Chain A
């Protein structure tokens, strides 16, 4: 297990390094950073001084090493727009995105698992066919448009839910993070107003995942129901509930957990869209705004953090998977 873990960590490290090179070249080498970093009305001497101060006269590999060194110390540059450390800006907005993403995943499982289970157990009933047709729609609906329609119906027409923003937040976990950023975590889901604000964005973000969970669960149930061990479980005289929820469900949970876990990353990425629609002040809205005004340090910080998050998520999912499936566990022990 330890060997496996170490190997995975080393792999992850290489991916992070590779991505840092890509991001560095992508953001700093394409286009002229001098144009962006230095005020246009600066004269020649000022420019040269700034270029030297910023290390832009160094060869590219040297610049990259400086960038990497700073990054390791938590310094990913300062935002031109906010004039604050980029990392701090991102981390401040992270709780909003995380609670939205987790809310969406929670909704996806809460709705998708039972529906998928039902559709898998009674594949030919009209209700199952409706569920499956709905899931095709869920895959096809453009997220941002559904978001707008939600606002139109529930905020504008019915007036039940607030259309934008995070609502009242509640600071629970104040913690001192990396050196340049002391962040008190603000949460919406702990206040009633916050929940009301979270409702629509979370449902919006969950739509695609609900369809995914339904499809995965249904396919898994149908496949597992044909297995001999399910028939054997029935032959043992177990109750249908036990057969379904222990023998079938536990087997399905493995692929579903894997995919849903992997989807956490994509949920966070896709929250870019939902956050823009609902003006949810998270990382996603920040990155779109930053791309629009070419606030490069923030873009870099966002990309690096997202990459780190993805690698962490992949690692955690793999480990969870091996804990759930005894067959994988044995292989990794052997490795």
Chain B
């Protein structure tokens, strides 16, 4: 099998604020194979978005990638120059942002914003670039793309804008798309449509996808693998169906438990007690221990990430749903 599209090894992205160092991403590793979808799940502030921005090289000061490797088709993105990175951005690696109302420049027409992207990476005429923009808009299901090209962003609905943003991401048929909660701001029905289309596109073009979300139900329907982040670290990763069926980490279990649809009617909603810890001066040991029902003395030490079951890794001294535990 060919090299994976993306392999992130021990990535660290820290923010050097006046109040102290915020370890937004701390020792994060994962792999995305060609044509596969990785769901990156976590609460807000868990470092999942910063991971996305680290990959595409858009972490702004006071933040900085301080360690680890980001191997994209074998090249370490953490080491290449800004020039080389810019060459990849929007070309081989594209990104879709959370709020479609904010991602398109309000004073530029859609055609300007699409054509500039085409021409940033390909030496083509304006007309060819426009042709490409028109085709891509059609591809993401925007009716009468010719007319729409001449419009300004405010003339589109939220769902339409996100389709435009997706079309922009697809202009160069990238090998990897980092989607940062692209459907969170949209209506549920539109969310479903967009998910279905993105999945179809990923399958037909062989594009790999990192889908950042806090919504497990989205991951369940879309992703092949899932990585769960907590306080800047990955606490569990593995194939989606297995992780959701039998989570190893208590935090994953808590997340699954707090999805309303999974609870039986009449039963009180389960929730994870306590709050996400501040990433500023995180105490040593397992970051989840203060909220964890299984926490013990041993959790004062930092658990490493280890493969407990084939293809399933977790960062916990007392994993759940292991064969031994199920036997007991």
Binding site for B on A (CB under 8 A): 227-239, 242, 246-247, 250-251, 254, 324-327, 330
Q: List 8 A-B contacts (CB under 8 A).
A: A230-B105, A233-B105, A234-B58, A236-B117, A237-B91, A239-B86, A242-B120, A254-B107
B58, A231: Cβ atoms closer than 8 Å: yes
Nearest to B121 among chain A residues (CB) is: A237
Is A326 in contact with B102, judged by CB distance below 8 angstroms?
A: no
A232 touching B155 in the complex, CB below 8 Å, given contacts A238-B90, A242-B116:
no
| C-alpha spacing A250/B108, complex, angstroms | 8
Partner of A327, one of B89, B102, B106: B106
User: Scoring B residues 91 to 108 as 1 if CB is less than 8 Å from chain A, else 0, what string do you get?
Assistant: 100110111001111111
Q: How far is the CA of A238 from the CA of B117 in the complex (A)?
A: 7
Measured in the bound complex, the distance between the Cα atoms of B177 and A236 in whole Å is 12
Interface contacts beyond A236-B120, A239-B120, A326-B107: sample of 13 additional A-B pairs, CB < 8 Å, sorted by A: A228-B97, A229-B102, A232-B97, A232-B165, A236-B89, A237-B86, A247-B105, A250-B107, A251-B106, A251-B107, A327-B106, A330-B152, A330-B155
On whether the beta carbons of A327 and B154 are closer than 8 Å, the reply is yes
Q: How far is the CA of A236 from the CA of B117 in the complex (A)?
A: 6
Tell me the nearest residue of chain B to A230, going by C-beta: B105
A250 to chain B, nearest CB (A): 5
Assess whether B227 is interfacial by the CB under 8 Å rule: no
Contact across chains for A330 and B154 when beta carbons are under 8 A apart: yes
The answer to whether B87 touches A237, judged by C-beta atoms less than 8 angstroms apart, is yes
How far apart sit A232 and B108, CA to CA, in the bound complex (Å)? Answer: 13
Distance, CA A238 to CA B89, complexed state (A)? 8
Most chain B beta carbons < 10 A, residue from A238, A250, A324: A238
Instruction: State whether B97 touches A231 (Cβ < 8 A).
Output: yes
Min distance, Cβ B167 to any Cβ of chain A, angstroms: 12
Across-interface contacts of A234 in B (CB, < 8 A):
58, 89
Residues of the A chain whose Cβ atoms lie less than 8 Å from the Cβ of B155:
330
**B154 and A246: CB pair below 8 A?**
no
Complex Cα gap A313–B86 (Å): 44
Q: Within 8 Å of chain A (Cβ to Cβ): is B244? A: no
- Please tell me if B219 contacts chain A, counting CB pairs below 8 Å: no
Q: Give Cα A236–Cα B92 distance, bound, in whole angstroms.
A: 10
Q: Which residues of A contact B94 (CB under 8 A)?
A: 235-236
A251 CA to B94 CA, complexed, in Å: 24
Interface residue B316 (Cβ < 8 Å from any Cβ of A): no
Please determine whether A237 and B88 come into contact, CB atoms closer than 8 angstroms.
yes
B168 in the interface (beta carbon within 8 A): yes
Bound-state CA distance A235–B86 (Å) is 8
Decide if A246 touches B108 in the complex (CB within 8 Å).
Answer: yes
CB distance from A181 to the nearest CB of B (A): 43
